[in-house]
Structures are given as structure tokens and as C-alpha cells.
Amino acid sequence: MTKIKICGIKTVEDALAAMEAGADLIGFNFYPKSPRYIDVGRCRDIMSVMRKYGHVKYVAVFVNSSAEEIYATMDTCGLALAQLHGDEPADMLNALEGKAFKAFRGIPSDVTGYIRIESPTLLVDAAVKGVYGGSGVTADWSVASELAKKYPLLLAGGLTPENVADAVRQVRPWGVDVASGVESEPGKKDAAKISAFVKAVREVEK
């Protein structure tokens, strides 16, 4: 079954909407320049409500943060995985001891050193200059499908309730990741769009 990650959550209401719709992973973005940025205190407050839902995995998204900051944030908030969405070197994954995966903006020419046994192994997003995710631009599905044959790949980049079924059929990823595609405005999730997104993915699997 294709995993579904709803990313860029900023409120308890949006987190609950994602969980109730059937999300497998919920992401919090700790990159200050993102419209989906959340500070540690607010995330901790949300997680005080959400951690009772053990069937959901909670992911922290970072851009060029230190391993120490990542560990501290994950520990304070009670998050399971770190998504490295910046220009982090492969040895950063070693420092995080199996609790992180690398996101690539564009299709990586070489993933040597970034591959781990955990799922997901890597994330593929669209390449947009100066933007670290959440651009709404679609990634290259044809090339991503080749990577997905080899690795548990999380596909991001411009996914919406309208196109995610086609993406799943073409790429056959381990999972799909959406932020802007289920929002009413940057940083504000739309519960109806989240439900439609999840339903579209599940329809493919029938």
C-alpha cells in the first residue's frame, strides 16, 4: 500500500484532519524561510495531542541544520524521522543513526552514500532554484519511476488530488508527499483536499 505523507502541518486541526483522512506520515517543517515553518514550542504542543495516535509516523523537515539541532528538536517534540531537505552531505545520515532520510531537489545523478535500509530511503522533489520544497512544481516522474524500482522512494513535488493517481500509476513509489497541493493558502491545510488526495491514492490500489 502506498504511504501518504501530509507535510507542512502548523495546527492541531490540520494534523487531526490529516490523521483522520488516513495519512501514514505527518510532517512538520522547521525551515524558517518556509511559509509552513513551525517553531519547536508549537510543534511540541501539537504533538502533546497527536502522539496518542501511534499508527501515524511524525517527520521533522530540516534544511541545512546541524545534527545537534535536529536531535534536540526531534527529542523535544517526540518525532520519529528527520527529512533532510537542504544540501546535507551523506555523512549527516550517519550522524543521525538511521533516523533520517535525504530529500533531493531534482533527480540525483548519484545516490551512493545516501542509501539506507530504512523506509523511505530517499525523497525526490522538483528542482526549483532557491526553493527548498513546497514549490507546487511537479518532479520528473519518468526518471523517478526508474529510481523507485530500486529504492523505497517518497515522491514529492506538485502533487494534488487531481494528479496523484497518475503519479502513483507511473512512478509506483513507496509513498507520496504533499504540502501545497492540499492547502487553501500557503501553510493552511484544506481538510476536503486532504481527504480527496488520500482517496485518489487509495482508488489506484483497488
Non-local CB neighbours of 117 within 8 Å, separated by 6+ positions: 98
Whether 57 shows a pLDDT value over 60: the answer reads yes
Question: Please, are residues 79 and 60 in contact by the beta-carbon 8 Å criterion?
Answer: yes
Across the chain, mean pLDDT equals 92
**Residue 181 DSSP class:** G
Characterize 8-43 residue by residue with b for buried, 16 or more Cβ atoms within 10 angstroms of its Cβ, and e for exposed. Answer: bbbeeebbbbbbebbbbbbbbbbbeebebbbebeeb
CA 118 – CA 84 distance, rounded (Å): 14
- Domain housing 146: 3-204
Instruction: Assign residue 44 the CATH number of its domain.
Output: 3.20.20.70
Residue-level pLDDT at 105: 81
Q: What is the pLDDT of residues 116-150, one digit of tens each?
A: 878 899 999 876 555 555 556 788 898 899 999 99
Report pLDDT digits (tens) over 25-41. 999 999 999 999 999 99
Q: How far apart are CA 89 and CA 38, in angstroms?
A: 24
How far, in Å, CA of 53 to CA of 41, rounded?
20
The model scores a pTM over 0.95: no
Residues catalogued as catalytic: 7, 125
The closest alpha carbon to 25, from 96, 90, 91, 101, belongs to: 101
- pLDDT tens digit string along 92-107? 998 998 899 999 987 7
User: At 155, which helix (H) or strand (E)?
Assistant: strand 153-155
Give the chain's domain count: 1
Separation CA 90–CA 98 (nearest Å): 12
